[in-house]
Amino acid sequence: MLVVMSVGATDEEVQTVRDHIEGDGLTPHESRGEQRVIIGVVGDVGPRKEQVMNHLAVLPGVESVTPISKPFKLTSRDFRQEDTVIRVGETTIGGGSLTVMAGPCAIESRDQMLTTADAVAAAGATILRGGAFKPRTSPYSFQGLGMDGVRFLTEARERTGLPVVTEVMEPNQVQPVALHADILQIGARNMQNFPLLMAAGKVQRPIMLKRGISATVEEWLMAAEYIVSSGNPEVILCERGIRTFETYTRNTLDLAAVPLLHHLTHLPVIVDPSHATGKRWLVRPMAVAAVAAGADGIMVEVHPNPDDALSDGEQSLTLDQFSAMAPVLRTVHGQVRGLPTG
């Protein structure tokens, strides 16, 4: 349920409401908007719901108490009307800016990572990506360089000044990788790895949560809800295509999910046209379309020599292709920003 405080409610009144919620064995989550404070109440209230609502409704400073009909609560627009804006280093994600994440699928060597980083930074990327722990479909495929890869990625950050994002696959990796990376990625295959989601909720790093291969939007938002309700409000959603009957593309890019998510949630939405299409020549048109659809940014795979890549070469842009694409995205973003999305 949502406790909407009246405009001008005092901090003491907010605190009293929080105390009552905790007294009922539930957890308060506060959202401070420009106008007023909204307190999301989560927990298993069961048949006491009406009683708890009536009890909170009469406290001083409370304007209304309403049930949240959607299963996702803290991630919903009902809880927070303003876009969540995530600050990472010098850059912000969400709230009208354009985020461009770029880098290799897998970090293969120091030279490959640094060469890619220098090129994408010069071309205007705002965040560097690189996979160190790789979730590969085949156990015989390159599995990533692990913590050595993370070190090359952080070296790339020192050189370029850009924040870095890398994937974690199991709860034990969350803390050690969070010491080095600015953003942690949870990949499509792990979208419903609940222990991983809860571990990601315990670190002070933004989490980029990719959509599961066959996940509905609601399942995806419920996965985000795990992270937020575990204590980490900084979640970025990444649409990366879903599996359908179509086989020409690696996945089917669900671009309607972008405005849909902006309607349902305050969290920023990024689109990954590389994994969504699986084909290098489809990446640019879909990246442009994603920005036109209102995405807060894109994430693309880039490799100095895609034909020799150890992972996802067919969908990786060359350095030149990325440099040619980046200004187009900025132009499209300039055209569509501020336009109504619904």
If one asks whether residue 187 binds ligand PEP (CB under 6 A), the answer comes out as yes
Strands (E), 151-202: 164-167, 183-186
Does residue 217 bind ligand PEP (CB under 6 A)?
A: no
**Min dist. Cβ of residue 127 to ligand PEP (A):** 13
105 makes contact with ligand PEP (CB under 6 A) = yes
User: Do 230 and 203 form a contact (C-beta atoms < 8 A)?
Assistant: no
Q: Least distance in Å: CB of 280 to ligand PEP?
A: 15
Instruction: Give least dist CB 293 to Mn ion, A.
Output: 22
Q: Tell me which of Mn ion, ligand PEP, none is bound by residue 120, counting a contact when its beta carbon lies within the kind-specific cut-off of 5 to 8 angstroms.
A: none
For position 275 contacting ligand PEP by CB under 6 A, the verdict is: yes
Q: Which stretch binds Mn ion (CB under 5 A): 51-59, 101-109, 111-119, 329-337?
A: 101-109
- The packing angle between helices 319-336 and 280-292, to 10°, is 20
- Select from 84-92, 105-113, 180-188, 259-267 the region that touches Mn ion (CB under 5 A): 105-113
294 binds, among Mn ion, ligand PEP, none (CB under 5 to 8 A by kind): none
Cβ partners under 8 Å of residue 281, min gap 6: none
By the 8 A CB rule, do 223 and 195 touch?
A: no
312 makes contact with Mn ion (CB under 5 A):
yes
In the complex, minimum distance from the CB of residue 186 to Mn ion, in angstroms, rounded to a whole number: 14
Query: Rounded CA gap, 299 and 127, in Å?
Result: 9
Q: How far is the CB of 64 from ligand PEP (least distance, A)?
A: 40
Packing angle, helices 257-264 and 217-229, rounded to 10: 40
Closest residue to ligand PEP using C-beta atoms? 187
- Chosen residue from 1, 102, 105, 329 binding Mn ion by CB under 5 A: 105
Site stretch for ligand PEP (CB under 6 A), options 37-45, 67-75, 152-160, 184-192: 184-192
Contacts 24+ apart (CB under 8 A), 26-29: 26/52, 27/229, 28/3, 29/74, 29/79, 29/228, 29/229
Helix, strand or coil for residue 261?
A: helix
The two most distant CA atoms of the chain are separated, in Å, by 67
Does 214 sit near ligand PEP (CB under 6 A)?
no
* Residues found in the chain: 342
In sequence order, what are the residues at sequence separation of 6 or more whose Cβ sits closer than 8 angstroms to the Cβ of residue 215?
A: 188, 191, 192, 223, 242
Per rule CB under 6 A, is residue 20 in the interface with ligand PEP?
Answer: no
- Site residues for ligand PEP per CB under 6 A: 105, 131, 135, 187-189, 210, 240, 275
- Site residues for Mn ion per CB under 5 A: 105, 312
